[in-house]
Structure 1
């Protein structure tokens, strides 16, 4: 009886999964496989927050498959070796996998092709709404500027979402291992899995998103990024649903998904951008272990920065506006190497996606695709604009909870100083102190 294997990676879902649908169309029996691969390293599932979320995702995927007569097979080891071993055990005619964009994913795909030859089937536009490389400027392999990419993205043909399968038949003799339970670093970590992701999408309203998505205290963002990162939700399906809904909120939401695709197509073409400056500018980064520790721990003396860093520690997630302003403070005010900040984010973020994290950090640091390398986000101006009443700060910085109104953003001006750190650097000094500037 013909058998196919689905190697799940960052597509942990049943709805709109072309990889699974193709495998089911090819063979009467399918082995849904996930490999706990320690080689993914610090940017992957070895991080406690992402490992805990992953365990939820795999349990939910297994439950969904069992409801359809199947089950998830989990193996531990190197992904290519375990996939090849399973193919030999089952005599699989085909192995299906979603195309990835990171250097690790590209190397894994090359090794799979070498190990499996013509049995490997790689599927595009599974992790993104539009496949990396589907649109590109004449004579180039990717867009380096967002606006022309966005125009091309909107004019391109995109695949239609596919339905979840009604049944999945798995060979009875195939065995796997249990997924270990993991204690997350962040006590407020959200639950993982396709079911939870779809519930969140169903409860969240696009109405007002355009006006509310930068409101720190209002917390009007979708919080769907972890589910997109693990593939519990399909970017292509979310785009289709939002476009069907229409309106300013839907347009603003789709724009964020276009940004996500933009970063993925950049990293697919330039995987070294995960570590190296996309546009080298001969930066002379400042080095100060104490300043870096203060930033990580949320005790810089700037409440809006500290609130963001404490939200990250508590939830394993941070509001997007807070990500931008905390990153700018590190890279532009303290003038510390963006890689140190990106690594800290990846150590906690449940949605720690290499493409989005690293390239957003480079955008802020002025080493990435942004054509304005000297952009600086002043934390006091950001606080005044995006947390005007100080509610976000009071939520995450309990030392300042009794300070009313906007005064919470400048505690050094209060007549009675609270038990809260003084600013570690003056904003008028910033990156030009001690020759930190370019």
Structure 2
């Protein structure tokens, strides 16, 4: 075959990319194509932090391709129209793409397949590119997906993963294929000040450092908010600058309790993808409803978004989100529980705010983690409520995380400096820090009544 096309989506890498590998193996020349999708922008998912990280990823991908004799071809518009146009320009009989799980990914695949078939061309969809185990590869008897993580994990862990694919040494691109100007991070307004850098090279450097210095202690320290001992690889997994399959393989090769705990978190990611693939409506509707009649209180919702709830650990997490476009996983659970169960506000409100800020904002993981916290998802204990004071004593006992992200509380002295989550009224007044917007006992009682638990 003379020409083939690789349509990059959530797989912006050269290492362990079966989509790119298949195209390079079958054709003399390949068009590495990325489309800046007008439909994603219209749907409100093209937010500053992800746009900036994407700009880094595209620049790095282009640089890596050029080092191998190729280049990235960038187009903007509707995906189907742009792919069809490029395929006609180079007379490529086949287009390769990684399988997705969202409603949008399904519609994109259907549209591409139909349009290309009308032109006498073929769409080749590759599994196990975005996830380590493809959605639907393991299922319980008589059902299309697992609804509980533990039995899913047992089956997932027993699967034989595909072999990792080598990065191509040479990528030859047909002459004369035009490309749009790539976006630049510096030209994007509204980006979080502390947003991490994107791109495959940055992702691989972070992962190699994590293998050397962090993974061995992960089982013991991953919930320690002040230690900041997680991998921080989620943005790279979301954009596909790192391969979940390779991460599982390398972690298992490392061995130990920390590696096992890390692999389990990767399995959680795959679990959510297989739930959404089977139930795409869960991105918008309750996976398991409880007849919730959520409250509407814009004052409380604004205080939560701005990190002014009066609960230091909640406020620290929400301020970290704004500053970094990222949040510690334990903190995500806490702020989600606080919004949905202590304030009893709709999980979709929180999920939307996270998607507005998170660089790793992923429909499967974001929406289904929010549903888990709200008790409308796959949690087998849907009415559990996480107490922010108890959680602070357990996961931020010396207040390091709170002082880092709520600077007014860093001014505390004496006993309060060691436990800023336990503030006296005089401390709040002195530091201009708000009183709690709700008493925990009141919020718990309201939630239990709403769920019919009392």
Q: TM-score band (shorter)?
A: over 0.9
Tell whether the 8 Å contact from 1:327 to 1:364 is kept in structure 2 after alignment: yes
CA distance in 1, matches of 2:27, 2:444: 60
Tell me the CA shift for residue 261 of structure 1. Answer: 0.3
Corresponding residue of 2:302: 293
Please say if 1:18 is aligned against 2:18.
yes
- Structure 2 alignment gaps of length 5 or more: none
Tell whether the 8 Å contact from 2:45 to 2:355 is kept in structure 1 after alignment: no
Alignment RMSD = 1.4
Corresponding residue of 1:144: 147
Tell me the CA shift for residue 157 of structure 1. Answer: 2.1
Corresponding residue of 2:198: 192
Matches within 5 A, 1:174-253: 174-181=177-184, 182-204=188-210, 205-253=214-262
Tell me the CA shift for residue 410 of structure 1. Answer: 2.1
Corresponding residue of 2:319: 310
Change (3 A) 1:279 1:88: same
CA distance in 2, matches of 1:421, 1:43: 36
SS, match of residue 401 in structure 2 = helix
Tell me the CA shift for residue 139 of structure 1. Answer: 1.3
Tell whether the 8 Å contact from 1:61 to 1:194 is kept in structure 2 after alignment: yes
Which of 393, 417, 423 aligns to 1:411? It is: 423
SS, match of residue 142 in structure 1 = coil
Q: Any idea what the Cα deviations from partners look like across 1:335-359, whole Å, max 9, x if unmatched?
A: 0000000000000000001100000
CA distance in 2, matches of 1:42, 1:213: 37
Please say if 1:161 is aligned against 2:170.
no
CA distance in 2, matches of 1:21, 1:77: 26
SS, match of residue 183 in structure 1 = coil
Tell whether the 8 Å contact from 1:43 to 1:346 is kept in structure 2 after alignment: no
Corresponding residue of 1:323: 332
- Structure 1 alignment gaps of length 5 or more: none
CA distance in 2, matches of 1:278, 1:312: 26
SS, match of residue 344 in structure 1 = helix
Corresponding residue of 1:78: 78
Corresponding residue of 1:351: 360
Tell whether the 8 Å contact from 1:52 to 1:184 is kept in structure 2 after alignment: no
Change (3 A) 1:435 1:242: closer
Tell me the CA shift for residue 20 of structure 1. Answer: 0.2
Tell me the CA shift for residue 42 of structure 1. Answer: 7.0
Matches within 5 A, 1:100-111: 100-111=100-111
Tell me the CA shift for residue 46 of structure 1. Answer: 1.2
Instruction: Compare 403-412 and 160-169 and name the one that shifted more.
Output: 403-412
SS, match of residue 434 in structure 2 = coil
Instruction: Compare 145-154 and 117-126 and name the one that shifted more.
Output: 117-126
Q: Any idea what the Cα deviations from partners look like across 1:227-276, whole Å, max 9, x if unmatched?
A: 00000000000000000000001000000000000000000111111000
Tell whether the 8 Å contact from 2:342 to 2:447 is kept in structure 1 after alignment: no
Tell me the CA shift for residue 431 of structure 1. Answer: 4.5
Tell whether the 8 Å contact from 2:410 to 2:417 is kept in structure 1 after alignment: no
CA distance in 2, matches of 1:231, 1:436: 43
Tell whether the 8 Å contact from 1:317 to 1:350 is kept in structure 2 after alignment: yes
Q: Any idea what the Cα deviations from partners look like across 1:176-198, whole Å, max 9, x if unmatched?
A: 10122223431100000000000
Change (3 A) 1:413 1:106: same
CA distance in 1, matches of 2:90, 2:427: 74
CA distance in 1, matches of 2:309, 2:227: 24
- The aligned length equals 438
CA distance in 2, matches of 1:59, 1:202: 21
Tell whether the 8 Å contact from 2:344 to 2:447 is kept in structure 1 after alignment: no
CA distance in 1, matches of 2:128, 2:174: 28
Tell whether the 8 Å contact from 1:51 to 1:184 is kept in structure 2 after alignment: no
CA distance in 2, matches of 1:10, 1:314: 24
Change (3 A) 1:19 1:435: closer
Tell me the CA shift for residue 141 of structure 1. Answer: 0.8
Matches within 5 A, 1:267-278: 267-278=276-287
Tell me the CA shift for residue 435 of structure 1. Answer: 8.6
